[in-house]
Structures are given as structure tokens and as C-alpha cells.
Chains A and B, each alone.
Chain A
Amino acid sequence: MLTLVPRPESSKRMMYLSPIFALSATIFCGLVIFSIMSFDFATFTFTSNPFDPLVNFFYTPLTGRSGLTNLAMKATPLVLIAIGLAMCYRANVWNIGAEGQYTVGALAGTGVALAFYGVDSWLLLPAMFIAGALGGLIWAAIPALLRTRFNASELLVSLMLVYVATQLLFFLVYGPWKDPDGFAFPESRVFHTAARIPQLFEGSRLNLGTPIALLAVIGGWLLMGRSLIGFQIKVLGAAPNAARFAGFSEKKVIWLTLLVSGTLAGIAGLIEVAGTIHQLVPVISPGYGFTAIIVAFLGRLNPVGILLAGLLIALSFLGGETVQIENGLPKAAGSLFQGMLLFFLLASDVMLNYRIAWKRHRPAPRKIAQ
């Protein structure tokens, strides 16, 4: 029978090949599904070209006037958040509440923008960035504090705080921060120019957020791969007892990883409101904080991997929209395709650490070695 045999060390080759296997498998399955959908069994002909949805899913979103801009803008918050989350997960710190940290970051930045509404100063935007970062940081500090002081599960606390943040957002946008000239609709004022993140180039909607996300990738890479603290984080995650023995402070690492990831999520939130939406509205995230968790794992908790995974996941969202517009397929077809892609990517990870072999006998359970 087929069995999995562990590799002595992770295969470098498979690291590059496994995503390609996953993509090929997704494309193949997608083709089968689209063929069945477009095949008319009565006349035995194709009513439409089954390749069309595939091309529209993976390729068309990248073309056109703003294709690459769209991709970068969608990937920016995912990558930013995932970089921070990867640090947490490396240290076995389970922050799954990035959505809440993102929201509070957006709220804090909006607070500054509205408090200084109409003030035309170059200082405003940096102040908003600081506020956004602090907002995310504070929201992540709560699980850090409760974990280090009271041993409360950061996984649960950070998740609960997502719901609290959403209610806080509702409270502000339906209440005190409502646009006074907005007929009581739940929207804040539209930020004035000084409170908007400027566009990078004339005529493109790409803003400063994307280079910031790239900086975070480089920063994450330096921190995790080139610094002592990164080493401590990794050791603590992989071998907590050894880390404790070596005198690494577990509390310090919990604080650090949560605060960094909270800060990045907060900045991501600020970038979305000040760079893309330009006002506070009741819905400011299509689940970026949760999707970023998948991005972090697909990227194997590695900053460069996260960048690629973020782009791929962003593309799968854009592709889902394009097949709706171009092929009239329901949104669900896009979600199914996305789900397939995720499963194949996750499944193909197995090739990284194991190889498939043919074995006649299943290994009997061994006695524990003394």
C-alpha cells in the first residue's frame, strides 16, 4: 500500500514544486467541472468554451487597465497581517483575532482624521499612521496581558475581541462619528485630502500601503532570519522546554509577537480606510484578518512565501468576480474554486516533509525506546 515516509529534512525542491502541483490539480479539476457545466448532453456539444472560466479566473484579472493594481491592493492587507501572524505562529502564540486588531487600527486612525477634519497639515497622515498602529497594538495587548498575567487563552481572547471590535465600529459609525451632513446614514465624513494616503503615481490607485507591505516582508525576513529575537521565537515555538532551559523569556516573546502582529494589522486597517475607502463605513473588511491566517500558513510562515501566497489568494478573489462578470457564473462557483485551490495547496504541503512510497507491510507499533 502507499505510505508516507518522512524525509530527513524538508525538501527544497518540493517547496517550489508543491504549489505548482496544487495549481495544476486545481486547474485540471476546474476544467473538468467547467466542461461538465458547459456541455450540452442533448446535442453533444459544448455550449461555451470550458477554458474561458479558467482563463478568466487566473489570467484576465491581471490584464486590463487596473489589473495589477487591483491585485496589489487586495494583497496588501493580507500580506501585512499575515507577516505578523506568522511571527506569532512560529512562537506558538495563537493570535486569530487579527480582524479585530485591523478594525481597531482603522477606528483609531479614523478618530484622528475626524478630530482634525479640514486641518491641512502634512503631520496629519503620520499621526493617523501612529494612531492606527497603536490601535492594533492595544487590541493585541489585551490578549497578551491576559495570557501572561492570567494565563487566559490568547486564541480565545483575541477571537472574542473581534466581535467586540465590530460592535465598537457599529457604535461609532451609527453614533458619534456619523457624518453630520449625511442624512443620518451610517457613514463618517469622507476624509479630506490631507487625511488620505497619497497615490503613488498619477492615475493609479496604488498607494503607499503596498510599499509598506513590501517593507514588512523585508522586515519580517530580517527579524525572523537574521536576529537573535527571531531565533528565540523559533526555538520557543519548536522546543519550548529547550527555550526555557536556555533562559529565553516566554512572556517576552508572547508580548513581542502579539504586539508586532497587532501593530501590522492596525496599520493594514488604517491603510484600507485612509487609502482605499476614505471614510469609516460599517463594513471595512471582507474578512482580511481571517483570510490572512490562511495566507500565513500557505506561505509556510515564511515572509517571501507569504508574499506569494497573498498574491495567489488575492487573485482567487479577483478571479471569482471576473468569472461572474464574464461567464455569468454564480459567486459560489468562484468560492468552490477557491476552496479547491486551498485544499490542494494544503494537501500538497505533505510532499515537503514526506515522500510517498510503496510498502508491503504496515509498520507495527514500536515499543518506546528507553
Chain B
Amino acid sequence: MKRILQSTFAAIAFVAISATGFTGSAEAQPLKVGFVYVGPQNDNGWSQQHDLGRLAVEERFGDAVETSFVELVPEGPDAERVIRQLAESGHELIFTTSFGFMNPTLKVAEDFPDVKFEHATGFKRADNVSTYSGRFYEGRPILGTIAGMMTESNVIGYIGSFPIPEVIRGINAFTIAMRRVNPEAEVRVIWVNSWIDAAKDAQAAETLLDQGADVIVQHVDSPAPLLAAAERGAISFGQTVDNSSFAPDSVATSLIDNWEPYYIERVQAVLDGTWVSTDTWNGLNSSMQQMGPYASWLPADVLAAVQALEADLTSGAVHAFDGPIKDQSGTVVAAAGETIEDGVLLGMNYYVEGVLGNVPQ
């Protein structure tokens, strides 16, 4: 049985190889760049933005590069194998674009010292492993300002994917700015514990709307929450991509991830032979994080306030975590004039004043 199978395979392989004809090429080998996505390539969210970065690399470097990708790679035992397969098939630069790929990336990197790895959103590096991430919280004060100024019920609904520091940071950055313009408003958080359950996202939004929220903020990929908000005339924001076309009457603005400049820069570095392991955490100033267009229906005073804020956040004049900041118990975590440091932000696991409920522990 096994022998039959083996010979069948061998026969097929032989036929196929002899049919191919073009098995080798004498030209200079293009640089092979691999990408590993956790979601579908065209998910209209996280993975799609990384894929746009890949396409930008292809467009920029043409025949000098050859890119390939593997989509829908589950974080877990499969990730290491996929990354290893890319390394073994001659990819010299590999982008692994989800937090859960961190340790698998490092393990493979150890066995392939000549291959360069780039891991998104992680914190472990090696000589051939860089990390990069967006300061996804940087645009959130703008959302918080809009919410604080526009809300009438003073109830803001916030839908989180998983209680990881990145999302909690976003909630806090949002709430701090919101409270500065509207100390009465409070944020209610629902964790859906999923990245993909669109119907649950919508139900979470509806539950918050049921409880009186008139602004819905989302840190999940599917546009379901903003559609639910639009349905009931509430304000919402786009996440990861510009979602204003979905519900122009509801989406005030969007937070957009843009990986294109970074990917081009890193591929260029490999081509030039100047690639070194680095840690990149960029935000509005580098366009890794961008604001989408502001809705035309925003009142002039709100628009003026957020445009000024966006300019200040981009220039660095204002930081999302400038004090004074109190946590839920009223304890001051950053006095006026202080700013919470990156090291603390990285592992943030508490809510600031103005958020209802507790961080799931």
C-alpha cells in the first residue's frame, strides 16, 4: 500500500517535472520575501493591511523581489512549521504579522541565522529578528475627543477583542481624552474574546446601544459594530482600514494601519546589505498609524478641536498619556506634567478613571 503510494507520487512528480521544462533560470536570483498572516489575505482588516504592504513591496522593487504569503495560519503549533517552511524554501526576509507568532519566529530564527525575520507587535528580538509595531493608541485620543464632545447620553460603548495590553492601552488613551472634554461621560467595555465572530461583534454593539450608548468604539476587525451603530443613529469609528464608506452617516473617522513605508524600508535594507535587528514602534508621526478622513457632519468646533489635537499628537507636542491620569480607584498614576513611559504602556493592565468594570484577570 505504502509502496504503491510512493511510486504513484514519484510517477506524478516525474511527469510534472519533465512537463515543466522551465526548472532553472540563469538570471540573478530575486530576493524572496515571505509573509505570514493570521487572518485571510483580504479580511478588510489587519491581515489585508499587511498584504497591501506586501503588494507595495512588489510594486516598488519589481523583479528584484519575489514575495509569497501564507494566510490563515493559526497561532499555535502550525505557526512554527509555516515559518520554517518559508525559511527552508529560500526566503531571506520573513514578516510574521501577529503577536502569537513571536516564539515560533524566534525558534526558527535560531536555526536560520542567515535569514532575517521581522515580527509584528512582539517584544522579543534576536540578531536576525526585528520587531515592529504601530502605536495604535495614538489616534485614540482623537476618537475620545469626538466621543466626549458628541455624546448626549454620556454612555460610550467600547468593544474589545481580547484583554491584551494593546487594547487596554487604546481604551485608556480614549478615555483620558474623553474625560478631558467631558468629565461626565463613562466608557462601558464588552470583550467578545474573538477576532472573527462578526455576529457577536454586532450583538455586543447592540447590547451597549441597548444600555444607552450613543457612541460605539471598536477594537475588533469586523465592521459589524459600526453597522449596528449606524442602524441606530449612533456614532462609530473605523478600525484598521478606512471604513467610512460602510456607514458615512455614522463613522466619524477611522484609525488606519499602514505598513507600506516600513516594509519598503526593510526590504531596501536587505537589498543594500544594511539590515540590522531593530525595534520600531511608530505612530502618527511616521504614518504607520493614520487618521481616516473626518466626517463632513462633524460640527465645526469638534472638527477644529480634533484637527488641532491630531497635529499636536503627530508633532509630539501632546502625548496620549500626558498626566494628570488617575486609575479607577482615584490613585494618581501620572501627575500633571508627567507622561506614562513606554515600558509601563507596554504591559498596561489596568483601566483609568472613567471606565466601568474591571480588566478581566
Contact = CB atoms under 8 A, between A and B. Distances in A.
In the complex they form, whether A and B have CB atoms below 8 Å apart is answered with yes
Interface of A: 16, 19-20, 23, 27, 49, 51-52, 54-55, 58-59, 62, 64-66, 70, 73-74, 170, 174-176, 182-187, 190, 272, 276-279, 281-286, 308, 317-318, 321-322, 324-326, 328, 330-331
A325 B85 contact: yes
Contacts of A317: 78
A51 B70 contact: no
27 contacts: A51-B12, A51-B15, A51-B16, A54-B16, A58-B9, A64-B85, A70-B81, A73-B77, A73-B81, A174-B163, A175-B361, A184-B168, A185-B99, A185-B123, A190-B103, A277-B76, A277-B103, A281-B76, A283-B74, A283-B75, A283-B76, A285-B76, A285-B77, A286-B74, A286-B77, A321-B81, A325-B34
A183 B347 contact: yes
B188 to A, nearest CB: 20
Interface string B153-196: 00000000011110010000000000000000000000001000
Contact of B75 (A55, A64, A74, A281): A281
A282 B78 CA distance: 13
Contact of B68 (A59, A285, A325): A325
Contacts of A282: 75, 100, 162
Given A49-B19, A184-B349, A331-B71, A55 B162 contact: no
B348 interface: yes
A196 B193 CA distance: 29
B80 A59 contact: no
Contact of B346 (A23, A183, A326): A183
Contacts of B332: none
Contact of A328 (B12, B68, B74): B68
Nearest to A16: B1
Given A49-B20, A184-B164, A284 B77 contact: yes
Interface residues of B, number: 51
Nearest to A271: B77
B258 to A, nearest CB: 24
B311 interface: no
B8 to A, nearest CB: 7
B41 interface: yes
Contacts of B29: none
Given A183-B346, A286-B76, 15 more contacts: A49-B16, A49-B20, A55-B12, A174-B163, A185-B165, A187-B103, A272-B76, A281-B75, A281-B76, A283-B74, A283-B75, A321-B70, A324-B68, A331-B71, A331-B72
A51 B71 contact: no
Contacts of B165: 183-185
Contact of A276 (B5, B75, B77): B77
Contacts of A55: 12-13, 16-17
Nearest to A55: B16
Contacts of A176: 361
B326 interface: no
B34 to A, nearest CB: 7
Contacts of A54: 12, 16
Nearest to A56: B16
A183 B78 CA distance: 24
A192 to B, nearest CB: 14
B311 to A, nearest CB: 30
Contacts of A278: 103
A285 B69 CA distance: 22
A57 to B, nearest CB: 10
Given A49-B19, A51-B19, A325-B86, A185 B164 contact: yes
B88 interface: yes
Contact of A27 (B4, B12, B360): B12
Contacts of A23: 5, 8
B329 interface: no
A49 B1 CA distance: 29
Nearest to B38: A283
Nearest to B22: A49
A285 B75 CA distance: 9
A331 B70 contact: yes
Contacts of A52: 16, 20
A272 B71 contact: no
B43 to A, nearest CB: 12
Contacts of B40: 331
B162 A186 contact: yes
B164 A51 contact: no
B89 interface: yes
